Each structure stands twice: as C-alpha cells, then as structure tokens.
Chain A
Amino acid sequence: AQSVAQPEDQVNVAEGNPLTVKCTYSVSGNPYLFWYVQYPNRGLQFLLKYITGDNLVKGSYGFEAEFNKSQTSFHLKKPSALVSDSALYFCAVRDFANDYKLSFGAGTTVTVRA
C-alpha cells in the first residue's frame, strides 16, 4: 500500500527565513506525490505535484518541492516564508493501483511569525 509520513506536527519559522516541511513516502512502483495546503475552515488547495521528470518541482505561491528517490522524500520548501503561509500542509500520494485515490499524511501546521 502507498503511504506518506510527515514527521513534524508543527514547524515554526520567522518571516523571511527559509521554510521546509518534510515528507517521506512508501510506494510500490512509481510515486505520484502531491502537496496541498489548508487554511482554517477551508478545503484543500493544490500546491504542486511530482509525476515524473525533474526532481525539483515548482508550484504555487513560491513553493517548490524536491523529489529524492534514494531518501524516499518529497520535502516542501519556500526560500522566504511569509506570515500568510501559516496554514496546515498535507503531503499525499496517489495510489499506483487505483490512481484516483489520494492517501494523505497527518499534516504539518506551519506558523510563520512576523
């Protein structure tokens, strides 16, 4: 079965500093990996995905993620965090056998302090 793990429940950074949200995955076959963001009382917003190709994926709002096959990781990064980036972030993997199904991590709460 496909799964992702987000080892940190919370990440706190100062505005202007780099932001990293960690994700590791476990899949059989090719990984289809995603990052979503959720603001309070809102649905999920798509940030970026890795299907194939370049290991560095660029997404919305200045976010990027690096796919690392040897470390089975797909960490989300932003070079300079904003207070408005404070939200709940989810890593997810699409099931290889049933590729309509997303399996999500437990989420990481990001707080960016001014």
Chain B
Amino acid sequence: GAGVSQTPSNKVTEKGKYVELRCDPISGHTALYWYRQSLGQGPEFLIYFQGTGAADDSGLPNDRFFAVRPEGSVSTLKIQRTERGDSAMYLCASSYRTEPLSDYTFGSGTRLTVV
C-alpha cells in the first residue's frame, strides 16, 4: 500500500481482556518496528522484525506482550490480561533497510484505552 496501515485506530477494552493490534507495512519493506507512546512522552521502542523473525524484542515490557509477523509482511501485537497502564498509542513503522540512511515510515497508530 501507499503507507503503513494500523487497525483499529482506536480500541477500548476492559482490564484483563486480550487485544490484538494490526500493522500492515509498506509493500517491500522488510523491517518492521513497534513503538509505544504514553501520554506526554516520546515513543519508546518495543520490538523490531527483520522479515519474519523478531530481531530485537528487548523493549517489550513483560511477558503479557507478544508480537508476530508470520509471513514477513503484516504484524500483530498481542497483549494479554490488559492493565490500565497499557493505555497508550501504539505505533508501527516500516523501512526498506535498517541502516540510518533508510527512513522509517510510521502508521497513524492505534490508541488503546484500558478501562
């Protein structure tokens, strides 16, 4: 597609529920990234995929968070047993390569609210 698509744009869920956030990167982009932006803060790195594999998941806050990219394109961020502290904007980005010359393209994000 023309840009990085994230669905849903907004998600409200009850504490303790399971949620899935989807990211559809730009066609041909092999690198995919998830970031989390809490209110009043800059985005924070969660996980990076190169192809199908998670090359770095060091930013995932705990084992309730998991992400997959089974075919090297669409990625899903999964959050189990959601907590109110998980409320944030979840941003996905993709790039053709990973070196600094290669620019990220960010999606519009999914705003997750846990009530």
Contact = CB atoms under 8 A, between A and B. Distances in A.
Interface stretch (A13-21, A71-79, A100-108): A100-108
Q: Interface extent on A, as a size class? A: 20 to 34
Nearest to B109: A43
B103 A49 contact: yes
Size class of B's contact patch?
20 to 34
B43 A104 contact: yes
Contacts of A49: 100, 103
A59 B9 CA distance: 28
Interface string A19-61: 0000000000000100010000111111001010000000000
Contacts of A44: 43, 91, 93, 106
Interface in B56-115: 56, 91, 93, 95, 98-101, 103-109, 111
Contact of B45 (A43, A90, A101): A101
Contact of A101 (B6, B40, B48, B103): B48
A45 B107 CA distance: 9
Contact of A99 (B6, B98, B109): B98
B46 to A, nearest CB: 10
A52 B82 CA distance: 43
The 8 closest A-B pairs by CB, nearest first: A104-B42, A43-B106, A32-B100, A100-B98, A44-B106, A43-B108, A94-B100, A43-B109
Interface of A: 32, 36, 41-46, 49, 51, 90, 92, 94, 98-107
24 contacts: A32-B100, A36-B106, A43-B91, A43-B106, A43-B107, A44-B93, A44-B106, A51-B100, A51-B101, A90-B43, A92-B42, A94-B100, A98-B56, A100-B33, A100-B95, A101-B48, A101-B56, A102-B35, A102-B45, A104-B42, A104-B43, A106-B40, A106-B41, A107-B40
